[in-house]
Amino acid sequence: MLEYKQDLFGEKTPEIRRLIEDLVDRAGDVVSNTFIPLVLFDRYETMKHLEQMKKDINELERLI
């Protein structure tokens, strides 16, 4: 799915990859909940995803 250089971050690479994949998945859920009219907009779920994305981004910044 995501291409990355294996030794770019050494031992932290798998954790960084996991965080990025989680962010991509959550972003997809947020877009689905917000912009697709056939899906009921669930504000609570969207806010939970956004909060977790914020935490994941902070963790990525710390690791990088």
Domain ranges of the chain: 23-63
Is 60 exceeded by the pLDDT of residue 11? yes
CA 41 to chain centre: 19
Q: How much is the average pLDDT of 58-62?
A: 83
Other CB atoms within 10 A of residue 37 CB? 6
Helix, strand, coil percent content, the chain, rounded in steps of 5: 75, 0, 25
Give the tokens for residue 21: 């994949």
Q: What integer pLDDT is reported at residue 1 of this predicted model?
A: 43
Q: Measuring CA to CA, how many Å separate 46 from each of 11, 29, 41, 42?
A: 32, 8, 8, 6
Q: Hey, what amino acid is at 22? A: D
pTM of the model: 0.51
